[in-house]
Amino acid sequence: MLAAGSCLLTDVVDQLHEDSKKINIVDRLSRHLEKGISDQTCTSYLQIVKKLAPSETVIHIDDSDVVKPDGYKFESLGIVRDGSESTSNVYKKRYYVTEAGVLTTSNHPVSIFSRIHSSSKKDYKSTNTITLNAMEQGSALFKKATFCMNRGYDDNKMFLKLNELGQDYVIGLKSNRKLLYHNKWTFATELRNRRKGKVKTNVFYKGKNHEACLSHVKVQITVSRKGIYLVLVY
């Protein structure tokens, strides 16, 4: 793969310089790939990544997808609504991808969990199940880390799992999220509007550096009475 500069098997075969027919070599490599990566190899890789990460570890988790609009023979290819389209009624053939990456000491993201999955498989449970597996792997590898996720993960199941694992986290909140503040359930947006940021810092947002003001308030979420900090950025 390094010599070919590509992960396509047809390109890799060109660098092997074998006497067999190209199609036969591709079939042979495909059969080996079907076996997956051995547990020993995965463990060795994760131990190397662990050495590259700082003591205060930051793990990012995000979901994406792989679209295969012209695919007909891909196994378990699912039909999923395309959230990127302007209308909500556009469906495309695709796979889900769940990725967890850790920031190294040089702030370079390196994968510690990567899973392609499809709701069309018979034994498929849910996308959340895969995400929780990613959290478990990150927690087992680093013992203590800060998990960072966007507002798509503003879900009680995520909060409960991270609390169960004893991990820190930063999760973007949806505008309809209610928080318990002074024994009263209040929308996060209302708490935001009551305050002004007192701490100034620089943030990189949409390709530019900005001077932002920060504020925070201690609250509780609906699913658990454990105290968390609502961080507000202006």
| Cα–Cα distance for residue pair 208/205, rounded to 1 Å | 5
Q: Give the mean pLDDT of 21-32.
A: 94
DSSP designation for 18: -
State pTM to two decimals.
0.83
Report the chain's mean pLDDT, rounded to a whole number. Answer: 90
Evaluate if residue 26 carries a pLDDT over 60: yes
Domain residue spans of the chain: 1-36, 37-172, 173-234
Q: Which helix (H) or strand (E) holds 189?
A: helix 188-193
> Where is average pLDDT lowest: 10-14, 75-79, 167-171?
75-79
Instruction: Identify the CATH assignment for 37-172 out of 3.30.499.10, 3.40.50.1370, 3.90.350.10, 3.30.360.10.
Output: 3.90.350.10
For 99-152, the pLDDT digits (tens) are 999 999 998 999 999 999 888 888 888 889 999 999 999 999 999 999 999 999
d(CA 146, CA 102): 10
| Residue 166 scores a pLDDT above 90 | yes
Which 3 state secondary structure label does DSSP give 51? helix
Q: How confident is the model at residue 85 (pLDDT cuts 50, 70, 90)?
A: low
